A and B are shown apart, each in its own frame.
Chain A
């Protein structure tokens, strides 16, 4: 087990550095509550949902089975990540088939090569988006139990600053990027919040 612990420690260090980097950025200011209409709020949520449900985001926001997905225009038929890959309980891979076995610090320049980032891991299981409706994801984003313990403003900051989130807009050659941009999505979250964070009705 020693080496696994070592590797985990290495990863934790990565995440800590990462978190520090995030804190150094200038904090976002929320918009004035009520300054955005309910209707515009829902329109902004629709944009946010387009991003969150996009394969570049949702493929790694999966349930507690820990199996990342391959889906979206560049992947053909939706299926679990090939090669029997599992993120495991740690969400960083299992027993030396860690995500980092293949996913490096940058996107592979070779077509169909592995995408990469400073950190590569699955989102926590409670933050599952894959296979969930717009309404379900919306309720989830407002619930600190299921959004990583964040206020909505902190969710906006996370989207605004987090390198792994930003990867969704820079996914490497041959992969369709998430729509809009980090800045636009952050902006949408702030507007949605100002409209009272309305959620669409269940489908």
Chain B
């Protein structure tokens, strides 16, 4: 039976999905069909109908190649396939599948190009097309950029529909009943007389049938799952302690391990003395790895203790070692020489500001750690020339590439088994922890090794969101914003992450330096946004909402300053300036939700902010009270334009979570460096929001725009500026630096 799977002709899917979805990649060559990676790994009794569907005697398994870090990716991917395939919700099983270029993410790379998602012009489409082509070439099976839903919407429904079609054909052949008279229901083909032919019984025959070149997808009105509240597939496991994260994996003869590397990134290990650690109870072996040491032991705690007992002589940091020095470097970056981009330059800013009452401000955002609650970990076994890796990752393809070059093994001998992640927020777009675990496994072959980071190791080795600085200059005229000139300086995430660690340097400007600022749908008579590239400091990475995470604060708060200077209403003026209809609706909606303009009472204030990011217009209104003990966040209203609502309950959860993420870090979180090392070593010093600080949150997803969009990130950027603007409204204090608690207390 397995041999059926080796028929390598089920390869049409990407091409046909692309056509059905109306996506023009621009270059036909890139529409070459992809192979079905499941064919190589089918077990006994398993059949595959296409890269997203595997069937065996006990039912259907849907392949969900986008990682679930908590954002509900498995459930929505399964729903897309199940909707068309027609299987019962409770019968759905999911499997992340093998890493494969077939599961490339066509959308994520397009975010790396300066084409704003609202721009439908030919030039912008061509640029975006280049992004998707490159992504495919790079085999980027990446989870990120809030793309799981838009990337999978057509492709995965097509997978379900095509599979259903061949199952119907197989049933027609088997029963002798015309295909048109057959229906499907909950994993079975139903004959006119009511007989049921299960998909499992039809799968083998179906796999031999040439799939149709096109199929008709269900109209929205017939959806049974999409558009309705779905019960997350993992909700029972995650509510009963039975969900298995990497850190929970237990295998026979497994060895427990941890590592300790130089907290000064890239500083290296000069020498070490493990003599006392080696004598400690349970320690099996101490191994030198890149930039540090690893301990293999019979228990994680014993490994932690032994790692602490190793005397390490670390090298110094290859970058300015203190936050102060790094800020000096950032402040010196607003020069022509370091200019990286100027994607927006409308009107004549210089002329408009000349002789005008100049409003100037400098803004700062700190480094931020991802600090997912599950400390990074990986299980690796190297046995008989085969390397098996179990880990939570957003980049399985890149992991294989990097591990192949690290070990010299052929990529075919490296298997990555993707696990759910106990959070990520972008951290699992890196694979440093996987590489460390592999080094331990190569040094101790045969047994599976579970390498777990201590929280301290995790916090001090978090490639953070970069610190950044913005300088705004502007002027107002006749009660309106007239000139807006914003310069933004960050070290480049693209150079650090793609260039240094993915080995794929991206040419041209780093769009993330200005994302969430240059691409805002406002028409200001004189409007300029310039990006400056700070030379590399600490290695930096993508953090939930990436460039927009800081730029939302820069762009919107400075706009708020100008609006106040103009004496205009913060919401009305934003609406007036906004030319993009769906975005304007978003602003109007939060205005209506928050009853904007109504009296709030003594010591209270209300702030609004807007950020367009990841193709989503998002606006938030925050209400605060200035209490004698500090600022209390009372209530938050959020609206976002997503094009289409596929899972209302999860959109609500993601928006609530994004708002809490944005507010919590804005309140109290930063990573600072001294002697090249992060000074925050655990959650006592990097807290984010707690339950008692959590406001009431009301959110609404709008569907006035043309494109379906993901919502994992876009609710983050407007949260910090809305809070800062609310604090200004309540106290008259304009805070231009995050975290805000450097300047004001919170209760």
Contact = CB atoms under 8 A, between A and B. Distances in A.
Interface in B648-699: 681-682, 684-685, 687, 690-692
A84 interface: yes
Contacts of B691: 84
B682 A112 contact: yes
Nearest to B630: A79
Contact of A82 (B682, B684, B745): B684
A44 to B, nearest CB: 36
A20 interface: no
Contacts of A112: 681-682, 684-685
B681 A83 contact: no
Interface string A60-81: 0000000000000000000100
A84 B681 contact: no
A84 B684 contact: no
Contacts of A111: 456, 681-682
B682 A84 contact: no
Contacts of B690: 82-84
Nearest to A70: B684
Interface string A141-152: 000000000000
Interface string B706-747: 000000000000000000000000000000000000000100
B746 to A, nearest CB: 10
Contacts of A84: 690-692
B258 to A, nearest CB: 14
Contacts, number: 15
A79 B747 CA distance: 10
Contacts of A82: 684, 687, 690
Interface string A82-99: 111000000000000000
A79 B684 CA distance: 13
A107 to B, nearest CB: 15
Contacts of B692: 84
Nearest to B684: A112
Contacts of B682: 111-112
Contacts of A83: 690
A111 B460 CA distance: 14
A82 B692 CA distance: 11
Contacts of B687: 82
Interface string B427-467: 00000000000000000000000000000100000000000
A95 B239 CA distance: 23
Interface in B574-622: none
A51 B692 CA distance: 33
A112 B460 CA distance: 15
Contacts of B456: 111
A79 B693 CA distance: 15
A79 B668 CA distance: 13
A123 B687 CA distance: 28
B630 to A, nearest CB: 9
A89 to B, nearest CB: 19
A82 B682 CA distance: 14
B17 to A, nearest CB: 48
A112 B456 CA distance: 11
A82 B681 CA distance: 16
Interface in A102-121: 111-112
A79 B629 CA distance: 10
A164 to B, nearest CB: 22
Nearest to B693: A84
Contacts of B681: 111-112
Contacts of B685: 112
A112 B459 CA distance: 14
A3 to B, nearest CB: 22
A111 B682 CA distance: 9
A81 to B, nearest CB: 11
A112 B745 CA distance: 22
Interface string B98-142: 000000000000000000000000000000000000000000000
A88 to B, nearest CB: 15
Interface in A34-79: 79
A79 B687 CA distance: 14
B672 to A, nearest CB: 12
A102 B401 CA distance: 44
Contacts of A79: 745
Interface centre among B684, B685, B691, B692 (most CB of A within 10 A): B684
A112 B682 CA distance: 8
A156 B607 CA distance: 56
Nearest to A111: B681
Contacts of B684: 82, 112
Contacts of B745: 79
B681 to A, nearest CB: 7
Nearest to A76: B685
Interface in B236-276: none
A83 B691 CA distance: 8
A83 B685 CA distance: 12
A79 B456 CA distance: 23
B23 to A, nearest CB: 48
A82 B693 CA distance: 11
Interface in A186-201: none
A175 to B, nearest CB: 12
A111 to B, nearest CB: 7
Nearest to B746: A79
B538 to A, nearest CB: 22
Nearest to A109: B305
B632 to A, nearest CB: 13
Nearest to B304: A110
A79 B744 CA distance: 12
A77 to B, nearest CB: 8
Interface in B532-565: none
A15 to B, nearest CB: 29
A76 to B, nearest CB: 8
A99 to B, nearest CB: 17
Nearest to A112: B684
A84 to B, nearest CB: 4
Given A84-B690, A84-B692, 13 more contacts: A79-B745, A82-B684, A82-B687, A82-B690, A83-B690, A84-B691, A111-B456, A111-B681, A111-B682, A112-B681, A112-B682, A112-B684, A112-B685
15 contacts: A79-B745, A82-B684, A82-B687, A82-B690, A83-B690, A84-B690, A84-B691, A84-B692, A111-B456, A111-B681, A111-B682, A112-B681, A112-B682, A112-B684, A112-B685
Closest 9 A/B residue pairs (Cβ): A84-B692, A112-B684, A112-B682, A83-B690, A84-B690, A111-B681, A82-B687, A112-B681, A82-B684
